[in-house]
Amino acid sequence: MKIKKAVIPAAGMGTRFLPATKAMPKEMLPIVDKPTLQLVVEEIVEAGIEDILIITGRGKGAIEDHFDKSIELENLLRDKGKDEELEEVLKISSLANIFYIRQKEPLGLGHAVLCARQFVGNEPFAVLLGDDIVYADEPVIGQLAAVYDEKKNTVVGCQRVGWENVHKYGVVDTDDPEASVVKVKRLTEKPERSEAGSDLAVLGRYIIDPEIFEIIETTKPGAGGEIQLTDALNILASRQPVWAYTFEGRRYDVGDKLGFLEATVEYALRRKELSEEFKSYLTSLKD
Ligand code: G1P
């Protein structure tokens, strides 16, 4: 079954990035000149998925403005003959069919996903977290959809993160963390190093069976007192197979200051018009 719908939870408060995120949604922080959320939407569109639900919250109005038409700006760019910029701006408002719903209280990622129930209906769907962006030849969510196509069960996108980092992630317990596709035995949200079954972490990309909604409804608050998607997926894994897929690509945690800086530098170096000058600037810093 083709994956037709994607959900982007974007209601988080961005406390790791204050004060920048006091009034601005963290999803709008730019990597060079593009909001991280736009990179995530483009990944979805490249994978052939056109219906996207963004779960927002209070103070996230800039997100809707960004993906809307911007008539004054378009007219201004047209009048000034700035054709390239105009094309760029027009492209954003026609990228995909974007829908919005508000998560009224910050009760956790599991609860945010539950807000997508009506939109999703009874079919498998993609979930992408905006804190994780991945530079890859093939869009990561498309890689997961291909695995879904073969397995017909839930797939979580993973990479090894090192044992010193397991406490920050949802972690997979499996017989073979080296395998590119492997059955999940257990999922634990933010385990202590001593409790983690491996250092294979779930990194913000999922294709999920709709049975998850009924499970989330009765999932108790877990790590951080929040209703965790990982806990609901762990229950799902006890009822039907859930697969961990190690995706290809360079992943950045842009919700973290260092991860954000790494993404900024590396994306800038990939830009033709910036790379040469920026590289010589970076080289000059070594002295
Ligand atoms: C969330 C998920 C966690 C996942 C992480 C990175 O945690 O709950 O399972 O490993 O994103 O994608 P957060 O970073 O929001 O605390």
Counting ligand 1 atoms within 8 A of each CB, the residue from 8, 55, 109 with the most, and so the one to mutate, is 109
Distances (CA, A) of 7 to 93, 117, 132, 248: 18, 10, 14, 21
For residue 117, give the DSSP letter.
H
Number of domains in the chain: 1
Residue whose CA is at the smallest distance from ligand 1 atom 5: 169
| Cα(14) to centroid(ligand 1), Å | 13
Q: Which domain holds residue 93?
A: 5-284
Distances (CA, A) of 27 to 60, 94, 101: 9, 19, 16
For residue 221, give the DSSP letter.
P
Q: Residues in the chain with pLDDT < 50?
A: none
Instruction: Please report the pLDDT score of residue 13 as a whole number.
Output: 83
Instruction: Please report the pLDDT score of residue 287 as a whole number.
Output: 66
Q: Is 29 exposed, middle or buried (0-12, 13-18, 19+ CB in 10 A)?
A: buried
Task: Look up residue 12 and give its amino acid.
Answer: G
Distances (CA, A) of 143 to 7, 76, 139, 158, 248: 17, 40, 6, 12, 8
Please state, rounded to an integer, the average pLDDT across all residues of the chain.
95
Counting ligand 1 atoms within 8 A of each CB, the residue from 132, 160, 165, 169 with the most, and so the one to mutate, is 169
Work out which ligand 1 atom sits closest to the CA atom of 169: 10
| Cα(241) to centroid(ligand 1), Å | 21
Counting ligand 1 atoms within 8 A of each CB, the residue from 13, 128, 168 with the most, and so the one to mutate, is 168
CB 251 within 8 A of CB 128: no
CATH code (residue 78)? 3.90.550.10
| Cα(75) to centroid(ligand 1), Å | 41
Enumerate residues 6+ apart whose C-beta is below 8 A from 256: 16, 131
Instruction: Please report the pLDDT score of residue 103 as a whole number.
Output: 93
Three-state DSSP state, 103: coil
Residue whose CA is at the smallest distance from ligand 1 atom 8: 170
Residue whose CA is at the smallest distance from ligand 1 atom 15: 109
Residue whose CA is at the smallest distance from ligand 1 atom 6: 203
Residue whose CA is at the smallest distance from ligand 1 atom 10: 169
Tell me the per-residue pLDDT of 60-112, one tens digit each, with 9 for 90 and over.
Answer: 999 999 999 989 999 999 999 999 999 999 999 999 999 999 999 889 999 99
Work out which ligand 1 atom sits closest to the CA atom of 203: 12
State pTM to two decimals: 0.95
Q: Which residues line ligand 1 (CB under 6 A)?
A: 109, 129, 131-132, 169-170, 189, 201-204, 228-230
Q: Which helix (H) or strand (E) holds 132?
A: strand 132-135
**φ/ψ (deg, to 5) at 156:** -110, 135
CB 69 within 8 A of CB 93: yes
Distances (CA, A) of 35 to 99, 130, 282: 18, 10, 23
